[in-house]
Structure 1
């Protein structure tokens, strides 16, 4: 039986590689046929420009607001003891399909170059939901696992026809077996009324980072709250599958989801003029201490540059997974830049071993036109990107640019585009960028 299992995995692996290779070739051919006027590579954003003045960095400051511990304890007492990630993964009720079993239309969302080496499409439960940010258990512990499990987290917002979207949820994906990725979802919520109730997080999740025992998410809402924090040890069970949210007669509802995750903290935007709202975020484990990297989203038709910056994580054992804050609760950027890149939807920073500089990677949307996005490498010296098409003028990153998450233990970048979850080695990105 063990030999037959290995043969089945080999056949599936060959089918997956064939599907991904075929998709890349088909998309490359399609990119060659698109006229340069429709999908020309975006203008070179140039080198990163450091921001050092107080006026520039004050606009990046956040202020911390912790949910009172009695609120959280009151909610747990009413809903029952929180469950762990192991319990959530063990109740997976949906399975991602491998690329070989996805439709050609679904695979069109994958990058042309560099090509994904692993790709999956979601089950039917994502209908009516828009994909958001992705993160992994890479930063949860030194071995890249949460307990015994390798985990991918994928954010979604309900597609209710409004720009801000409706409710938000996170799908917990068990990535232990690359041939079978099972998942289930928890609704993101915010405690209210002293912990006697909770409301849904009514905003798309544009960025997400899992660090130690905390999940940090950025939202697209227009309010002052820019960043919410969740404790992965505080997942609560919903007691009814009602399509409402919060306390209901006889129990607790999470819009039909089996679990709800209540926020434990939030971070508000600075009062400074031109305050920057974090859009895409990622974890940089290569700094000391580890840091939270952020970018803002600036439209393609704007006349101002995009800001990139980082916050240091706290080293205080009582503040695991939280950004470093001063006695007033202020979180200040420890590094900041300007870039000429617009429509940034994914950001990543990484310093290769022995290197003197940090590499920044920016996933950029198509700039208001239909087509594919671009993946740029930037540093203090300049910028470069991967190009496709016969005249190398075509955009060739994923169809709908998503967040970027680096899994340091495997050397892979994970991202999500439309209904496809995919991964590829960072080394292949470097090779494609030349």
Structure 2
């Protein structure tokens, strides 16, 4: 570790993140497994990444692409009055976000200790305190386009899932997934509107809810890719949505789909229908076996790889102490496949690289290559299962791992509390994430008066500097 730290100091303290995210497998040595428990606590380092190279290991990440017929999508759009643009959703944003100075003490307590956030926002009061919906993922127009805007707007998308364990909610709402479309063009006045994720049915004559934990989400070009385990009755690993196909519901009701008099979307004005999916070729994913297809937990985009790539980490199999695999898929460069992963002639998608990480309890992952550096840094966010401690943001490569040290006793629990997925905004050099829980936990009971849900940004240069 001494050699690793010195190597980073020689590269310079003010660098941006380098990486080329990879994947991980739980096929670790017995010695590595013995230290995973202490690493989960954010104290001891998780050590270097372990490359996964065998055909059997890499084969577990393979996906098959299935796209919805264009006629089905057009039938649904025509029946609902035609597609509307993201700009309409933003212009109709009806919920304000609170700036950091207006966040409560409990919300501010969820922010990272080191490095500190330079921008932070809290949700509208109802969303900040509800136990029935949980914030899980974030992506931005910085992922989507080269200039970091969509139609001239700076946009943040935040994925939320309906908490099946929460008391008092309708059974039909269990597992629903929705996205907050946040107009971030004015950094002092963020506002958002909810859009429900759905899937076309009956040839486009109806739609059904997409049920997902929404743990990962990436906006690339005109597509939104969302983790969707057990979504809409399938074992799909990922769902694909087209941002040019947002549709407007015209009936305010609890149902989802076509109803008498029009279209209802569980009291949401807008829906985003799935246009395709990616399914593991090895069968349904499982978080309990390292020799099976992994269940997607979190996603991010790496614009520093060639071609650009989708980075993923898996859902842990056994609580807070379980290590994880991380891996990447290349995006297609074909002009007629914008925002889709690269496939072969049979519609198969293969991972380019994969790793095993002993950073247990991983909730977010980021890959970024800095400058002309040959080997990437990987950033994996660990979050504690306990309510009090902050999480840890580890920087790993094949040589070792680093994290900020924020207390005299050497603790590295410096990251946000219950922080989820990670997203890098190249035009501003910011790392974005969001925290999940209310103060009393993430399931069951009445709304909490002491929420800890925050959307925040930290400069990537500060992240690196904190690790020197």
**TM superposition score category, shorter chain reference:** 0.7 to 0.9
Shifted more, 191-200 versus 210-219: the winner is: 191-200
Local SS of the residue matching 2:297:
coil
Shifted more, 231-240 versus 370-379: the winner is: 370-379
Q: Deviations over 1:42-82 (max 9, x none)?
A: 44211111111110100000111111111101101110110
**One of 362, 368, 382 as aligned partner of 1:364:** 382
Contact 1:299 1:343 in 2 (8 A): no
Aligned counterparts of 2:135 and 2:411: Cα–Cα separation in 1: 28
**One of 373, 386, 408 as aligned partner of 2:404:** 386
Is residue 139 from structure 1 mapped to residue 157 from structure 2 by the alignment?
no
Shifted more, 382-391 versus 46-55: the winner is: 382-391
Contact 1:168 1:201 in 2 (8 A): yes
Aligned counterparts of 1:211 and 1:258: Cα–Cα separation in 2: 24
**One of 406, 414, 420 as aligned partner of 1:402:** 420
In the alignment, what sits opposite 1:375?
Answer: 393
Aligned counterparts of 2:357 and 2:412: Cα–Cα separation in 1: 21
Is residue 428 from structure 1 mapped to residue 462 from structure 2 by the alignment?
yes
Q: Report the CA distance between 1:170 and its aligned residue.
A: 0.3
**One of 206, 223, 226 as aligned partner of 2:215:** 206
In the alignment, what sits opposite 1:195?
Answer: 204
The structure that is strand-richer by fraction is: 1
Shifted more, 249-258 versus 219-228: the winner is: 219-228
In the alignment, what sits opposite 1:63?
Answer: 64
Aligned counterparts of 1:186 and 1:322: Cα–Cα separation in 2: 21
Local SS of the residue matching 1:177:
coil
Q: Report the CA distance between 1:209 and its aligned residue.
A: 0.4
In the alignment, what sits opposite 2:158?
Answer: 154
In the alignment, what sits opposite 1:266?
Answer: 277
In the alignment, what sits opposite 1:81?
Answer: 82
Q: In the superposition, relative to structure 1, how do residues 302 and 373 fare at CA in structure 2: closer, same or farther (>3 Å)?
A: closer
Q: In the superposition, relative to structure 1, how do residues 160 and 306 fare at CA in structure 2: closer, same or farther (>3 Å)?
A: closer
Q: Deviations over 1:375-397 (max 9, x none)?
A: 00000110011122221225121
Aligned counterparts of 1:149 and 1:414: Cα–Cα separation in 2: 17
Compute the TM-score of the two structures, normalised by the length of structure 2: 0.81
Aligned counterparts of 2:69 and 2:249: Cα–Cα separation in 1: 22
Compute the TM-score of the two structures, normalised by the length of structure 1: 0.88
In the alignment, what sits opposite 1:298?
Answer: 316
In the alignment, what sits opposite 2:250?
Answer: 239
**One of 180, 186, 204 as aligned partner of 1:177:** 186
Contact 2:153 2:184 in 1 (8 A): yes
Q: Aligned pair count? A: 397
Contact 1:225 1:268 in 2 (8 A): yes
Q: In the superposition, relative to structure 1, how do residues 178 and 301 fare at CA in structure 2: closer, same or farther (>3 Å)?
A: closer
Aligned counterparts of 2:280 and 2:372: Cα–Cα separation in 1: 36
Q: Deviations over 1:308-338 (max 9, x none)?
A: 1100000111110000011111100011111
Aligned counterparts of 1:75 and 1:83: Cα–Cα separation in 2: 13
Contact 1:299 1:367 in 2 (8 A): no
In the alignment, what sits opposite 2:240?
Answer: 229
Structure 1, unmatched stretches of 5+, are: 1-36
> Cα RMSD (Å) of the superposition?
2.0
Q: Report the CA distance between 1:339 and its aligned residue.
A: 1.1
Aligned counterparts of 1:221 and 1:111: Cα–Cα separation in 2: 32
